[in-house]
Amino acid sequence: MKELLSIAAIKKSFVKNKVFFILILSLVGVQVITSFMQVINNREIALETLNDDLNTGERVVYEILKNRNLQLNQTAEILAKDYGFIEAFFSAKHDKETIQSVLENHLKRASAELMILTDLEHKVIAQLPENIVISSDANLHHLFKDLASNHAITLINFVEQHDGGQRLKLFHVVSSPLRAPNHVANLTVGYAVNSGFLKHIREMAHLELMLASQVKGRWVVNASTLDAVDIKDIEGLLNPLNPHVREKGRVIKLNHQEFLIATSHIKALASEQIILLIAKPVSPALKPFKKIEHIVLSMLGLSVLVSACAILMVTKRIVEPLSIQAHSDALTGVGNRRHFEIMVDKAILEHQKNNTPFVVMILDLNKFKQINDQKGHDVGDFVLKVVAQRIQHVIRVYDCVFRFGGDEFAVLIEDCTRDTAIRVAEQIWQNINRQMRFNNDTFMMSASIGVAQYAKGDACSDVVKRADDAMYHAKVSQLHFVYRAK
């Protein structure tokens, strides 16, 4: 019984703690890696889908801007060809107030927010609103000239003065020549591009939009459908940018939410960059995959549980019995030499850690060969079993008995001093040296015992050799036992 407990202890630590957990960890590891790869793959698929949506959305946005640009051009052309406007221009050519009044009337008629009248040298004759600062920058003159001959979508930042301060205001502008019948001036018409306009586009395109401008080396957000966007959050998307290359969107975190954002250049002054940012939140695209991932994780948990039960069952029914068989003596049920070496190594580690003393005993039965030869192997097997049982009746439950083979046994007694070892050795000898009965046959059996105390620095083979030498000395000297320290 004691030996089975000892073997069970080895089985628990070796089989369960190693074989069982290695199998479980390997299984879980493979399944977790597979699940992780699936999550990454799902995210890549979602981002690819979002990229396609951004490409489609960008085309929708530009179609909307083109339609607005066409409307602006038509408005500018109608105003520039208006007979009353041309007559007022000529009659008040040198009267700025009158021209301002005419512009104001036309501004209201066109529901525009910007109107600039320039001469053939592209110098400003009149403008509305008057708080817009139009510089004499050559780039601005070039833009007015280009607008008159090109109907491309063009955005431009103007400085607006208000309440003693200044701010940038972005306009979508077009220009049309004023003819009477010859080309005498240019009329530029514009609408403000603000967050309200972008929100109107968002309702049609189902996208988040943002316009950012770089003026004099500094980036500013002109308009956005997203609230409270800090320019620092998107600067990584703006520099550097190649206006001729359409890059894939990048994932950026804005307002504690992930967005896939693509960028596109819009025509502006040579000294400016104006970037349209088109964004879609990542989480809605991942939502269908999240459901799949939850199902996969549930299946993973169930699979691990079922696999653990299966591995535990296999361990108990196959691995553990094999482990017990590998560490026990088939005849007596006590531990074998391999089991003995494992237990002694553990005792050595315990001694090194806590200075716990232990002894090893080697027993050899006297005249066993004679009994085995004369009375038969059945009697010999019976003797070996009885000796193993009698040793176990003497020692404590956590001490161990082993059979090395033939008629040789070993005993490991832990936490044992010299006096305790001598007392236990005498008790073992007395318990073995009693009458045995097999069927109607009775006979006596005795043993020679060698006792060796473990000494610091000993290996398993060292303490076994001393115990073996002591046993032979006891046999030759016809003593019950011989004790040997270092």
Which CATH number does the domain housing residue 197 bear?
A: 3.30.450.20
Q: Phi/psi class of residue 342: alpha, beta or left (left: φ > 0; alpha: ψ in -120 to 50)?
A: alpha
Predicted local confidence at residue 385, as pLDDT: 93
User: What is the rounded CA–CA span in Å between residue 85 and residue 101?
Assistant: 11
198 and 212 together in one domain: no
Statement to judge: residues 278 and 295 lie in one domain: no
- Tell whether 222 and 349 lie within a shared domain: no
Query: 95-153 pLDDT, tens per residue?
Result: 777 788 888 888 888 888 898 888 887 788 888 888 888 766 555 566 666 665 566 78
Record the tokens describing residue 150, joined without a space.
Answer: 């090109």
Residue 14 is predicted with a pLDDT of 45
Number of domains within the chain: 3
Q: Domain boundary residue among 298, 327, 356?
A: 327
CATH of the domain at 251: 3.30.450
- Cβ neighbour number for residue 359 with a 10 Å cutoff: 28
Do 311 and 173 fall into the same domain? yes
Q: Note the pLDDT of residue 361.
A: 95
CA distances from 256 to 46, 251, 267, 363 (A): 19, 12, 32, 76
User: Helix and strand tally (H, E) in the chain?
Assistant: 14, 18
> 349 and 407 share a domain?
yes
Q: Give me the residues paired with residue 224 across strands.
A: 210
Rounded Cα–Cα distance for residues 152 and 266 (Å)? 10
Look at residue 464 in the predicted model and tell me its pLDDT.
93
**Is residue 95 located within the same domain as residue 186?**
yes
Residue 41 included in any domain = yes
Q: Which of 291, 289, 296 is nearest to 46 (CA)?
A: 289
232 and 187 in a single domain? The answer is no
Q: Return phi, psi of residue 370, to 5°.
A: -65, -45
Q: Which residues contact 153 (CB under 8 A, 6 or more apart)?
A: 62, 65, 66, 69, 172, 266, 267
Pairing of strands 481-484, 446-453: parallel
Residue 474 identity: A
User: Is pTM beyond 0.75 here?
Assistant: no
In a domain, 12, yes or no: yes
Give yes or no: residues 137 and 234 share one domain.
no
Residue with tokens 């036309």: 106
The answer to whether residues 121 and 144 touch, using CB atoms and an 8 Å cutoff, is: no
Flag residues of the chain having pLDDT under 50.
1-16
Residue 248 belongs to domain spanning: 206-282
Same domain, 108 and 197: yes
Contact predicate 467/474, CB 8 Å: no
Q: What's the sign of the alpha-carbon dihedral 477, 479, 481, 483?
A: negative
If asked whether residues 271 and 292 sit together in one domain, one would say no
Asked whether residue 94 falls in the same domain as residue 15, the answer is: yes
27 and 131 within one domain: yes
What are the tokens at 173?
A: 């502008």
Of the three residues 302, 327, 352, the one that is the final residue of a domain is: 327
From 218, 247, 282, the end of a domain falls on 282
| CATH at 402 | 3.30.70.270
In a domain, 332, yes or no: no
State the distance between the two ends of the chain, measured CA to CA, in whole angstroms: 32
